[in-house]
Structure 1
């Protein structure tokens, strides 16, 4: 697979959605069951849009929603369909990374439309970022799902506020930062090193993670991003959910010690305790658009997604 690099041309931002526009629902990673698909369709239609479910959205091949060819076909069909104005990923899980070389980036640049998802979908966010097209880190689920609708119709979402009672909030330093917001799941960002050529200079980095194999995964992922130069020139860090690490300790260190040690070398403002990522009711935020991070006030304010 050839390395994916930043395009030279400027791409227009996606247009804001209007009533009766089509939103595609696809499964580029793991499969979704019929009740979850039906619930997602109902949510999209309650917003006044038409839902179009991918042909292979409920296929199953182990933990994948069918074969790579079929998952890529659904994603590219949505990119090439002029009626489709946004793409919702029904779930994360595993498998998005396999599709990076197959995404029709020419179609994406010719007709920009946001992709919505998080966790494993961070792999696709990197493709959208390289294509110069904003996307949405979040989900069409939970009590805050309506934020996605507001973003799609061109509204500016409310500032995301840090919760001092949320695990990890004590990582917050002080100061302010600005720049385009980009990032997502820590492991997926690290896996992209050497595959996607993200230039994050001048960006505010968004990070969220969840515990699978202990603190070593967090340490290795952050070290890989640092040593590869992927984080050179970032202006600030916004830290979301650190799911599963609340009561976890390894030889007297917690995930907070690892993050302080690794992020501290960047010398930039850090705002933590944000309700982003693996949560029951996550907040959704645009990626690839300007933001203001205010660690003193505890807020992350992001510009509108659509033109």
Structure 2
């Protein structure tokens, strides 16, 4: 039961927000080991109990001790409870020295409402990766901006066998328990594979959901100067993609990029929207925005909202090779 007094407003960015480091080496957590405690939280939308039980069982099979946040199953509109309760669960996980990894249950809506309330002091004292994608991108960006924390753009283990397979799950486990770099290869079946500019680039990998980055532009988006930008996007018309990319370009955040890595743009297969957009495909829109930047671009990465997505560390040094069709990223853990 929440106290009757008015709780702190996580949207009030003028109270209690402590600016974090803008430069410096990434913070990386120790790799996950059997017997470690991990915490499941819901910073965005509400999951079902069955889905959380499924994800907890996967983690337990790795030899981990699994805990579930107090408000994981709350509901408030499209979100898993009130902002301050979702934030309290997230901050409690970061502040607990025994918790080694924080797993989000799902995306959806709401992480953008609490991103400015993260306990950055706790994160800096005891770095631990956050795992998730989609709406969780808002938190990945905030953790990088304020703490330089390396995190993991990884699948939600609450998803069933229709989304995950043993290879997908093993790839996530490997990213959290091993320290060697991860190499992804462009998939010719992805619609973004056609968007490629030859060349090689090195830089810290930052990004995730396109609409999360465009929402944060001008407010909470970290500097992309010297970075490789990763983008993925699901189920939205070409005009929405064009608007989001235009927002990023007009805000100036694309200045200084070293490379662009494009994942799954789900829902654009077969150029289904071309008849409504003057014959343009998603590849045309992406080339329009990135093809003239004079930097390497690699499309076709199997990361995003389609089934069996690959795991990708964020906030780690990466090498993009548009000619070879590979993205190699350092580990988020040590």
TM-score, normalisation: structure 2: 0.88
Q: Hey, what does 2:222 align to over in structure 1?
A: 198
Match of 1:262 among 281, 289, 299: 289
CA separation of 1:237/1:115 partners in 2, compared to 1, >3 Å: closer, same or farther? same
The residue matched to 2:79 in structure 1 has which SS? Answer: coil
The residue matched to 1:183 in structure 2 has which SS? Answer: strand
- The question of 1:216 aligning with 2:239 is answered yes
Structure 1 residue 157 displacement after superposition: 5.0
Structure 1 residue 296 displacement after superposition: 1.2
User: How far apart in 2 are the matches of 1:140 and 1:188?
Assistant: 18
The residue matched to 2:93 in structure 1 has which SS? Answer: helix
User: How far apart in 2 are the matches of 1:216 and 1:261?
Assistant: 13
- The question of 1:181 aligning with 2:201 is answered no
Structure 1 stretches of 4+ moved >2 Å: 1-6, 8-12, 154-158
Q: Which is greater in Rg?
A: 2
Q: Hey, what does 1:248 align to over in structure 2?
A: 273
- Matches of residues 106-255 of structure 1 in structure 2 within 5 Å? 106-130=121-145, 131-141=147-157, 142-143=164-165, 144-212=168-236, 214-246=237-269, 247-249=272-274, 250-255=277-282
User: How far apart in 2 are the matches of 1:166 and 1:279?
Assistant: 10
Q: Hey, what does 2:31 align to over in structure 1?
A: 16
User: How far apart in 2 are the matches of 1:74 and 1:260?
Assistant: 41
User: How far apart in 2 are the matches of 1:179 and 1:25?
Assistant: 31
CA separation of 1:262/1:5 partners in 2, compared to 1, >3 Å: closer, same or farther? farther
User: How far apart in 2 are the matches of 1:123 and 1:52?
Assistant: 23
Structure 1 residue 31 displacement after superposition: 0.5
What's the RMSD between the two structures over aligned residues? 1.6
Gaps of 5+ in 2: 1-12, 158-163
Structure 1 residue 202 displacement after superposition: 1.0
CA separation of 1:5/1:271 partners in 2, compared to 1, >3 Å: closer, same or farther? farther
CA separation of 1:76/1:6 partners in 2, compared to 1, >3 Å: closer, same or farther? closer
Deviations 1:107-142 (A, max 9, x none): 111111110111111100011111111000111431
Q: Is the 8 A contact 2:74 2:81 kept in 1?
A: yes
Structure 1 residue 99 displacement after superposition: 0.3
User: How far apart in 1 are the matches of 2:197 and 2:313?
Assistant: 23
The residue matched to 2:102 in structure 1 has which SS? Answer: strand
Task: Report how many residues are paired.
Answer: 306
CA separation of 1:233/1:86 partners in 2, compared to 1, >3 Å: closer, same or farther? same
User: How far apart in 2 are the matches of 1:293 and 1:77?
Assistant: 36
User: How far apart in 2 are the matches of 1:148 and 1:252?
Assistant: 38
User: How far apart in 1 are the matches of 2:302 and 2:326?
Assistant: 11
32-41 or 16-25: bigger deviation? 16-25
